Amino acid sequence: MKVILFGATGMVGQGVLLECLHDPVVESVLVVGRSSTGVDHGKLREILLADLTDLTSIEAELSGQDACFFPLGTSSAGMSEAAYRKITYDLTLSVAETLARLNPGMVFVYVSGAGTDSSEKGRVRWARIKGETENALLALPLRAYMLRPGYIHPVHGVRSKTRLYSVIYTVATPLYHLLKRVLPKYLITTEQLGRSMVQLAEHGSEARVLESPAIYAIAR
């Protein structure tokens, strides 16, 4: 299986990349991003682009791929609605529409988030825009899956690029291990999330929108 990965330098993307490199089912990983992962592996190839909304120059590289994993995203904190929409909706749909044209029917796994608003009418801005993004992706000629994890715990050296988040994860680790015993299906690791994405690409799922318990089950 040949995989394209966007957002590989983010916390979730790092976890997905590790799973892709470790899983023998994945033949190759093409990372497309603005900055390098710094990872050296025989299955990995990177393409750096300043503008991810314009993939014209690399369309030949994107053709013939089996799946795209898209954990690229940002927090809405401190952002205007227009700025958040540009990253969350505009960028995601630009990439997905290009891939749908080049590889009709390919798998596209999008990492959304718990609380996403499919109605697109809620008061919570980020949830409404995420819901709009999900709905638009599901309407494309792709085998698209929307993942809505809740708390994601970094493992195997994966770290958030945001210093504050890294501190929070470090402090929260003891509590995470305690809650994991009580609510194992609602707290997942970057490893489990990455594994579920590879499994979805290989085997698919009847459900197109998956919350934490379903993600947990697929990873197992």
Rounded to whole angstroms, the Cα distance separating 45 from 33 reads 11
pLDDT band at 19 (very low <50, low <70, confident <90, very high): very high
Q: Which pLDDT score is estimated for 211?
A: 95
Q: Is the pLDDT of residue 176 over 80?
A: no
The CATH number given to whatever domain includes residue 76 is 3.40.50.720
Query: What pLDDT shows up at residue 105?
Result: 95
Residue whose structure tokens are 């996403």: 116
Q: Quote the strand ranges of 11-50, DSSP E.
A: 28-33, 44-48
pLDDT at 9 over 70: yes
**Banded pLDDT at 178 (limits 50, 70, 90):** low
Close Cβ partners of 203 (under 8 Å, ≥ 6 residues apart): none
Name the band, by pLDDT with cuts 50, 70 and 90, for residue 185.
low
- Return the residue matching tokens 């299906």: 185
How does the average pLDDT of the chain come out, rounded?
90
User: pLDDT band for position 75 (50/70/90)?
Assistant: confident
pLDDT at res. 92: 98
Per the structure, the complete domain to which residue 112 belongs is given by 2-219
- Tell me what pLDDT residue 173 has: 66
Domain count, the chain: 1
d(CA 209, CA 206): 9
For residues 93 and 14, give the distance between their C-alpha atoms in angstroms, rounded to a whole number: 22
Compute the average pLDDT of residues 43-54: 96
Instruction: Name the region of 140 (left: φ>0; alpha: ψ -120 to 50; beta: rest).
Output: beta
Q: Are 15 and 193 spatial neighbours (Cβ–Cβ below 8 Å)?
A: yes
Higher per-residue pLDDT: 6 or 152 = 6
Task: Please write down the long-range contacts of 21-28, taking CB distance under 8 Å and 24 or more positions apart.
Answer: 23/195, 23/198, 25/1, 25/198, 25/202, 26/1, 26/2, 26/198, 27/1, 27/2, 28/2, 28/3
Q: Give the percent of the chain with pLDDT over 70.
A: 86
